[in-house]
């Protein structure tokens, strides 16, 4: 899903997986593959005064801790969305 203009009310993270040095092509049917490591990129948001930054991860298990780390380094506090409202 592509947006025509940037949304200043959200934070954006890109998740990129490495594909270098993979030779899994089958002549009959090409195979799409990637490594289980890559980079998490926090995109800049001028209205929130957030600069773009990136962090490398080495496995699927590192993705969530890496997102938490990139938020911590950028002083972004994450509030749980499953709060129970009191009546």
In the chain, pLDDT over 90 holds for what percent of residues? 48
Question: What pLDDT was estimated at residue 87?
Answer: 41
Query: What order do you get walking across the sheet with 38-42 strand by strand?
Result: 13-17, 38-42, 53-57
pLDDT digits (tens, 9 = 90+) for 41-65: 999 988 888 999 999 999 999 999 9
Question: What pLDDT was estimated at residue 28?
Answer: 61
pLDDT digits (tens, 9 = 90+) for 18-35: 988 776 656 666 667 888
CA distances from 81 to 9, 10, 19, 55, 84 (A): 16, 14, 34, 24, 9
């Amino acid at each position: 899903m592509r947006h025509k203009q940037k949304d200043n009310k959200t934070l954006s993270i890109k998740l990129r997986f490495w594909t270098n040095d993979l030779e899994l092509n089958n002549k009959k049917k090409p195979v799409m593959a990637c490594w289980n490591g890559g980079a998490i990129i926090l995109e800049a948001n001028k209205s929130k005064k957030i600069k773009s930054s990136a962090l490398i991860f080495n496995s699927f298990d590192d993705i969530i801790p890496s997102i938490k780390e990139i938020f911590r380094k950028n002083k972004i506090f994450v509030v749980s969305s499953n709060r129970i409202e009191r009546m």
